[in-house]
Amino acid sequence: MSTHDTCSRDNLSAPRKRLRAEDRRNQLLRIAKELFSEFGFENTYTKAIAAAAGVSEAIIFRHFASKEALYKSILDRKADEIGIKAWGAELHHFAECEDDEALVFSVVKHVLEADRKDPQFQKLMLQAALSGHPLHKITAQRLLPLHRFLCNYIKRRQKQGAFKKCDPKLAAHAIVGMPSYYGLAKILFGADELTLPEDQIALGFTRLILKGLHAPGDSSHKQGGLKRKSKAANHTIGRYE
């Protein structure tokens, strides 16, 4: 008998607790996220989710049309948790100001912060990538707007001569990928040898990325943008520069 089956069977006897519709939906999302991240989408059955919640399977389909709809709702909820709309407005502001450092720092910091606060979600993404189910395409759809935004910004700065000529898509992946790999390495390999404050790590990644992007001799990019945009970054830069 698998750990998953044992867990599910133990929860079958859990007393059913009546919750408001919104609370029940949130409970199901939380439990589904936990089981999906642990066992994967294909190996997690709605019966197991219902058992862990102490409800009948029909309750799940009262809130979600399908297991895939439940998964999509987990991604949408995550977007709400990180304040994706407010963050998008911040990124567009930095883009309008052509503040390269503040923009890249914002992306890097959000990735690091998300991985630190919710490593379970990172495991969920790994399970989706390893699954034969087209879940990775659903996840990719949520990430495409950020990549498009970064590509367009990079293209614009290249035309202005501020950034070196390179594939904008490759550069966008570098911006997101560097902090993402750091979070991934901590989960997969336990690689957590860095004892630096998170802001300093984010600033280090930011400047490494921009050192590779900025064209030699270009002075159009903003210097010290983070000092103006973020008190936290200002504190970090002041200590470590």
pLDDT of 135-158, one tens digit each?
Answer: 666 766 777 888 999 999 999 999
Q: Residue 241: its pLDDT value, please?
A: 39
Instruction: Name the DSSP class of 222.
Output: P
Phi, psi of 214 (to 5 degrees): -65, 135
C-alpha atoms less than 13 angstroms from C-alpha of 174 in its C-beta half-sphere: 17
Cβ-based neighbour number of residue 189 at 10 Å = 8
**CATH class belonging to 3-66:** mainly alpha
CATH of 82-240, one of 2.40.50.140, 3.30.70.270, 1.10.1740.10, 1.10.357.10: 1.10.357.10
Residue range 208-235: average pLDDT? 66
**What is the spatial distance between Cα 64 and Cα 62, in angstroms, rounded to a whole number?**
6
pTM: 0.74
Over residues 37-64, the pLDDT tens digits come to 889 888 899 999 999 999 999 999 999 9
The domain spans of the chain are 3-66, 82-240
Q: Binning pLDDT at 50, 70 and 90, where does residue 234 land? A: very low
Phi, psi of 9 (to 5 degrees): -65, -40
Pair of tokens at residue 123: 């495991």
